[in-house]
Amino acid sequence: MGTKDFQDLVTIVPWTFIAQILNLFIQMYLIKRYLFKPVNEILAKRQALTDMEITEAREAKESADKIRDEYEGQMAEARAEASKIVAEAKKDAQDQADRMIKEAEDQAHGIKMKAEADIEQEKKKAINEAKDQIGGLALDIAGKVVEKEIKEEDHRKLIDEFISSVGEAS
């Protein structure tokens, strides 16, 4: 290859150069219109979708936090209510125990009073029986006194016997 052939390869033909420049601008316009615009629209839609998902996630997190706070508040109320119920149950149990003790004390007092009344009645009965025996003994002495003439010594002797027999009877 000679230098002329080499020069033919390097030579710029003005019409061809202008056509190539025009071709480049047309390609850039077509690429911008039909490739970049749709790609930018798709990217914008993706960005909007991502922003919407982030917003929804934030809202969901806020909602979950609110629900958690409500749950914790309800749990605190439930614990307070449970403590109140336990305290009331303890108070009721103590009241019932006190009432049972009071009833037992009243019952014991009633039994004691009945026993005292029974003892008093038995005591009166015993006294009445002793009086009956004393009366019988007095009649026996009176009968003996009538049967024989009593001297002062005999009279003392009868009284002493009477006292000793009353002492033995009680």
Spatial distance between the Cα atoms of 161 and 158, rounded to a whole number of angstroms: 5
pTM, rounded to two decimals: 0.40
Spatial distance between the Cα atoms of 126 and 132, rounded to a whole number of angstroms: 10
pLDDT at 147 over 90: no
Residues 56-113 have pLDDT tens digits of 999 999 999 999 999 999 999 999 999 999 999 999 999 999 999 999 899 999 999 9
DSSP of 18-68: HHHHHHHHHHHHHHIIIIIHHHHHHHHHHHHHHHHHHHHHHHHHHHHHHHH
pLDDT at 141 over 80: no
